[in-house]
Amino acid sequence: MAQEKTGDFWVNGKLFGKQSCHITEDVENSDYLIVIGANPWQSHGFPRARKVLGEIAKDPKRKMVVIDPRSTKTAEMADVHLQVKPGTDAYLLSAILGIIIQEGLEDHEFLSKHTVGFDQIKKIFTDVSVKDYVDRAGLDLKLVQNVARAFANADRGCVRVDLGIQQSLHSTLNSYLEKLLFIITGNFGKKGSNNLHTQLVPIVGHSNEPEKGGATTKVTGMKEISNFYPPNILPSEIDTDHPERVRALIVDSSNPILTAADSNAYRKAFEKLDLLVVIDVANTETSRMAHYVLPAQSQFEKWEAAFFTLDFPSNYFQLRKPIVEPRGDTLAEPEIYRRIMVAMGLFPKRFPLLERIARWHSRFPSLGVFPIGLKMFFTLYPTYKKSVLMILYATLGKVLPDKANNAAMLWGASHLYAKRYRNAVLRTGLKGKGFMLGENLFKQALEKRSGIKISEHTYEEVWDLLEHPDKKIHLVITEMHDALQDLEKEFSTNKEFPFILAAGERRSYNANQIFRDPEWRKKDKDGALRMHPEDAAKVDVLNGDLVLCSSAKDTIKVQAIFDEAMHLGYVSLPHGYGFEYVDADNPENLRQNGPQINRLTSSEHCDPIAKTPYHKYVPVQIKPITVLTEV
């Protein structure tokens, strides 16, 4: 998340009061949807994506606009495709805001009731030179005007964004502009628009700015956003003589050697670690560098859940039961961490009294003995407070039915959720006096295999979720206004690297780093470089040719495939390839499946605030392979 979404979270912090205020989009009920830098047909990202896109395309009363330099499957389904020049969304979005404000199409009533600072916003966008900015985005002014006007007039306008703007130039600024778009048109806090939402397990936290006591890293001084630090800075935090450099690292459920920017810098830094521990279900490029590999149980072998339940006003949750017995000497992650903590002397092997109280509790929950016991325990041993999830796992976990130990932390989450959003939980039909509502929510999650509805909010409750004490949206963000000023400067293209590479497209056969077996892929087995035939002609490349793709960082060998859907000057490679695997015929030999795109990317080429890498905007050079070249 800290190499894609933290810029977005930072903006939320300023607009809504806390970085944990997270925006969702009610695409399903929208009547004017703008999709910016996302291809939900391929990447999903909202529930029932393909079905909902199909419904919108079929309904003449509903409109969809897609802003993307490639004519993707989602773009093909749209009423309007704005084939923006890569990396120029900040211009386009500024122009759209400019049109709306210059024509007075903003929602005056909404703005005066729910926001502060609109006067300043109005001034900025009144001054925007719309025609110039639309030109820079390579688009037609009339078309952009039509979209701006129609969105401002829509009943249920909704904006859906993703990596195409978050991992491209002006990342954090794009997140600000995209949010201003739905806010100034009043498309917030109602059906079919953008909304804040609640989560059973809040995965996005809040970090204060350093001036207000927020933490920073030792070497690069990077601030925390939403309790995350960006992977982009990790090599610099390790590969240095700084006395407080990072020396030991646990990597869990991630394969940064392939997924973080600048693979070569990552490899070099990881070589320097005193200790690298990898917790994974597969032997990966990262685990091959580790001093210790702790094999975890797969998603099918343990109690597990996705916390990406981001819906409003109704929200759901599903706890998944294991469907096969664990293999080998694997353990579920909570058990791995518990054993590490015991071995470090941070945690006793047993909690005899709390375990006994947990057993009583499981038989007579309405007596509430466990919450009381837990409270007393923390009064006696306050240092354990920060390990509350582990304590739940080690005590309550033991008495859960069906060896559902991993689910113990949900007990705490259910109680907090039911307490905080009591009315929304009651509206689902769930009953329970006082603390029993949380207890019943937990029980339901444990028992109902197809998932449960956890809340039914009202639209008015969106305003309770806002964290500014005045319950208003604070529109002015000084840093963003400086960034808007900078937009006026032209940016130049690099003659040595004339093409722009989108390093990391989502296609039908890539799934992050999950499916390692190359046999899984039915098409695009080698992860081809997509390129417009006119561009290919300029560099003497024929369809299917092997080419060298070089950035300022490295060179990789890839196959070029013609694709007329690409913007001119723009090429793409897929995310989720590049695995090294043992050749069955020659076990000594490691083979590689598809491009390792992050050998080309750089950690310095990134957003100034969140350090999110500009993966969608990597300047490269493409050359046909005419002579045998070592790569």
Ligand X SMILES: Nc1nc2c(c(=O)[nH]1)N[C@H]1C(S)=C(S)[C@@H](COP(=O)(O)OP(=O)(O)OC[C@H]3O[C@@H](n4cnc5c(=O)[nH]c(N)nc54)[C@H](O)[C@@H]3O)O[C@H]1N2
Residue whose CB is less far from ligand X, 37 or 192: 37
> Could you tell me the smallest distance in angstroms from the CB atom of residue 92 to ligand X?
8
CA-closest candidate to residue 569, choices 543, 615, 538, 598: 538
As a whole number of angstroms, the distance between CA 135 and CA 138 comes to 5
Based on CB atoms, which residue is closest to ligand X, 176 or 377? 176
> Which position has the token pair 């598809």?
594
**One-letter identity of residue 540:** D
In the complex, the smallest distance separating the C-beta of residue 171 from ligand X, rounded to whole angstroms, is 10
Query: What is the rounded distance in angstroms from the CA atom of residue 253 to the CA atom of residue 277?
Result: 11
Residue closer to ligand X, measured from CB, 128 or 290: 290
Q: Which is nearer to ligand X, 376 or 514 (CB)?
A: 514
How far apart CA 92 and CA 85 sit, in angstroms, is 10
Nearest to 170, CA basis, from 86, 90, 92: 90
8 A C-beta contact, residue 31 and residue 44: no
Neighbours of 127 (CB within 10 A): 12
Of residues 374 and 503, the one with the C-beta less far from ligand X = 503
Q: How far is the CB of 433 from ligand X (least distance, A)?
A: 37
Residues 6+ apart with CB under 8 A from 583: 589, 590, 591
Are the beta carbons of 566 and 590 closer than 8 angstroms? no
Tokens representing residue 446 in the block: 């444990």
Nearer to ligand X, 281 or 389 (CB): 281
CB 139, min distance to ligand X, A: 11
CB of 564 to ligand X, least distance (A): 14
CA distance 611 to 222: 9
Crossing angle (nearest 10°) for helices 352-363 and 369-380: 160
- What is the number of other CB atoms lying within 10 angstroms of the CB of residue 443? 17
The binding site for ligand X (CB under 6 A) comprises 3-4, 36-39, 42-45, 67-70, 72, 84, 86-87, 89, 162-165, 168, 252-256, 259, 279-282, 284, 296, 298-299, 333, 502-506, 510-514, 575-576, 597-598, 601, 615-616
DSSP state of 558: E
Give me the least distance between CB of 111 and ligand X, in Å please: 26
Quick one: 83 or 115, whose CB is closer to ligand X? 83
Is the CB of 44 or the CB of 131 nearer to ligand X? 44
User: 536-550 burial string, b = 16+ CB within 10 Å, else e?
Assistant: beebebeeebebbbb
Estimate the crossing angle of helix 478-486 against helix 118-126, to 10 degrees.
Answer: 0
Give least dist CB 28 to ligand X, A: 17
In the bound complex, what is the minimum distance in angstroms from residue 112's beta carbon to ligand X?
A: 31
Q: Which tokens is 424 given?
A: 């929304």
Tell the burial category of 113 from Cβ atoms under 10 Å away from its Cβ (0-12, 13-18, 19+): exposed
Nearer to ligand X, 473 or 610 (CB): 610
Residue 506 contacts residue 527 (beta carbons within 8 Å)? no
Contacts with 163 (C-beta within 8 Å, 6 or more apart), sequence order: 4, 37, 38, 504, 615, 616
Q: Give the shortest CB-132-to-ligand X separation in angstroms.
A: 19
Minimum distance, C-beta of residue 136 to ligand X, in the bound complex (Å)? 12
- Strand pairing partners for 455? 315
Q: What is the DSSP string of 372-386?
A: HHHHHHHHH-GGGGG
Angle subtended at Cα 149 by Cα 148 and Cα 153, rounded to the nearest 5 degrees: 120
In the complex, minimum distance from the CB of residue 164 to ligand X, in angstroms, rounded to a whole number: 2
Shorter beta-carbon distance to ligand X: residue 240 or 283 = 283
Q: Which amino acid is at 509?
A: Y
| Non-local CB neighbours of 109 within 8 Å, separated by 6+ positions | 186
Closer Cβ to ligand X, 290 or 609, answer by number: 290
Cβ 628 vs Cβ 561: under 8 Å: no
Q: Which is nearer to ligand X, 29 or 512 (CB)?
A: 512
Q: Write down the least CB distance from residue 334 to ligand X, Å.
A: 11
Q: Provide the 10 A C-beta neighbour count for residue 429.
A: 8
Q: What is the closest distance, in whole angstroms, from the C-beta atom of residue 288 to ligand X in the complex?
A: 11
Count of Cβ atoms closer than 10 Å to residue 80 Cβ = 16
Q: Which residues pair with 331 in a beta bridge?
A: 296
Closest CA to 302 of 267, 333, 276: 333
Nearer to ligand X, 114 or 553 (CB): 553
Dihedral-angle region of residue 368 (phi above 0 means left; psi in -120 to 50 means alpha; beta otherwise): left
Min separation Cβ 617 and ligand X, Å: 6
Q: Where are the alpha helices (DSSP H) in 299-351?
A: 333-343
Residue number with CB closer to ligand X (361 or 553)? 553
Name which of 364 and 491 has its Cβ closer to ligand X.
491
Minimum distance, C-beta of residue 307 to ligand X, in the bound complex (Å): 13
